[in-house]
Chains A and B, each alone.
Chain A
Amino acid sequence: MSQPHALPANDHSEQPGLAVQALSLAHGRHPVIDALDLELPPGKVTAIVGPNGCGKSTLLNGLARVHAPAGGAVLLDGRDIHTLPSREVARQLALLPQDNTAPEGLTVTDLIRFGRQPHQGFLRRWTEQDQAILDQALAAADLDDLADRPLDTLSGGQRQRAWIAMSIAQQTPLLLLDEPTSALDLGHQIEVFELIRQLAGQGKTIAMVVHDLVSACRYADHLVAMADGQILARGAPSDILDPALIHHLYGVHCDILQDPADGTPVLVNLRKSL
């Protein structure tokens, strides 16, 4: 069922790539991921899916160097990410974690300004260029009208777009998102996913942990299906998704149809037993 994935030959080959080699990650003594290999296809959206506790968020945190490996390495442009200065990594790779918080009263603009921190020297002030990048980030995430609003007064979708705008201001070729749409209703989910697609269209390499398999199929070019710290399948959603994989991942049976609009796989007739 697992297909070898070939890197698509496109214009993004000169971009910094993110890959893991024999990566092992553990929570304390408890191993979560053992000797895993993975490469993110450049300029594409990769969705990491799998059941709860399969290690997908741990893998994403490992990729983002916030979870130190127990073995193996995460390679940014071929270099071990943990040997690079953290600030330098932050200019290549942005992370939208799941456990982010914002102090009460922090405005959208305040938040996006943080995205410029990796580019600012110790005493370097806010420049016109920084301001221009902030304005672009606001526009890209469609937040112009909300620029001065405190985050705690926004809807979930607007707030998540503000966080993504912060990573846009970070101007990194790589973007990692941990469940960017969890706790959002359908409309807000689509609003966030469409922004993510838009960023991929501009050439960013994106990896995201997604809870909802159907959304993952719809919005990702590349699917990484994980169970028990192992990758069961990887490839284009329509290539790798079949009832056997679904059963392996989630222990449920289903049929797979194609969405008449865009051909993405849709799960129907879901049931626990045959």
Chain B
Amino acid sequence: MTDYACQRTPESRALVPPLPVAVFFALAAAMASLLWGAGPVGPLEAWQVLTGSGGDEARFVVMELRLPRMATAMATGLALAVAGALLQALTRNPLAEPGLLGVSGGSAFAVTLAILLGASSATMTTLVAQAGALAGCSLVMLATRSRGLAADPVRLVLAGATVTGLLLSLTSVMMLADQRAADEIRFWITGSIAGTSLADLVAVLPSMALAGVLVVIVASPLAALSLGERAAMGLGHRPGRIRALVVVSVALLVGGATALAGPLVFAGLVVPFIARALAGPDIRKTLRLCLPIGPGMILVADTLARVIGAPAELPLGVITAMLGAPVLLIIVRSGRIPTL
């Protein structure tokens, strides 16, 4: 292990810088999401639309359906990736993921409750989703405070799975109560960004921007916190304030993403995992890499969701779970879960 670690650093320095590659990957994925879809408009026609020609129907599909969907996918992917990386750094647990820990579950539960009570406006849904995420996130932080859970990554995930399971069954019970709401919720609860409009996205953007500002402020102190609570204090930071800022950022991000796409599991696990493998242990570098990889990943997943079963569509949540579950298994089975 020692020899391996010794060799790793010079090797990873010799490789192509990961950030430009990741940006290229995100741009390619964005292009693909415009070119391919479940409908009859093929890549060639879509390309014609993008270069200024093409028929009216193709124009409508690409500009009115696929473009907003691309933007939504990017925002969702970015939010979940950054939130996952933040949660993992804060809990020092590589398995901490908004979907697995019940943060998304809390968010979805809150939204279901709101829909059942008659809410429909996108702004309202965002706020409710963020409030639910904040509750879920606070629960996670309470759990990590209790001894044992913090030290054992797998037990934290078990606790999170329990909370998620409970919230999902409560959500199901609520759906039984109202058939009309149930159809609306059932589509959303598996995770999907089909049919989202730019208005939905616009409703989420202000809070995402606020989260972005908070993340910029908290990134360096959070990195210092990885040296230990007292070491961070010695460097002039306040751990309590760092935690509060991170929790609020995660709630804003996950709530926003959940409002847009439903509770997506695993997206916040896979992307930080890859980013960390490329960037090393510094959370600031990991976050920077999450910015392109997160959107790229969700774009790929959403494009696959449209293409695999065309002309029908798979829910996005199914694809992220299929991509994410193997990564979770790899981390858990690696025998030694790295400490962050």
Contact = CB atoms under 8 A, between A and B. Distances in A.
Given A148-B10, A150-B5, A105 B280 contact: yes
B220 interface: yes
Contacts of B224: 114, 117
Contacts of B223: 114
A7 B114 CA distance: 69
B226 A149 contact: no
A103 B340 contact: yes
The number of chain B residues touching the other chain, given as a range, is: 20 to 34
A224 B164 CA distance: 54
A97 B230 contact: yes
Interface string B225-256: 01111110111111000000000000000000
Nearest to A107: B9
Given A100-B228, A117-B224, A149-B6, A66 B234 contact: yes
B282 interface: yes
A137 interface: no
Contacts of B51: none
B5 A170 contact: no
A99 B92 CA distance: 15
Interface residues of A, number: 39
Given A105-B5, A149-B6, A170 B235 contact: yes
Interface of B: 2, 5-6, 8-10, 92, 217, 220, 223-224, 226-231, 233-238, 280-282, 338-340
Nearest to B239: A66
B6 A101 contact: no
Interface of A: 61, 64-66, 85-91, 93-97, 99-107, 110-111, 114-115, 117-118, 120, 122, 148-150, 152-153, 170
A104 B235 contact: no
Contact of A153 (B6, B228, B231, B339): B6
Contacts of B280: 105-106, 110
Contact of B228 (A101, A105, A118): A101
B231 A105 contact: no
A114 B220 CA distance: 9
A86 B228 contact: no
A87 B236 contact: yes
A102 B282 CA distance: 10
Given A89-B236, A170-B235, A66 B230 contact: yes
A99 B232 CA distance: 11
Given A102-B227, A103-B226, A97 B6 contact: no
B234 A94 contact: yes
A95 B233 contact: yes
Contact of A97 (B92, B234, B281): B234
16 contacts: A90-B234, A95-B230, A99-B230, A101-B231, A103-B281, A103-B340, A104-B339, A105-B5, A106-B281, A110-B282, A117-B220, A117-B237, A148-B9, A150-B5, A150-B6, A170-B235
A96 B230 CA distance: 8
B56 to A, nearest CB: 48
B340 A100 contact: no
Contacts of B238: 86
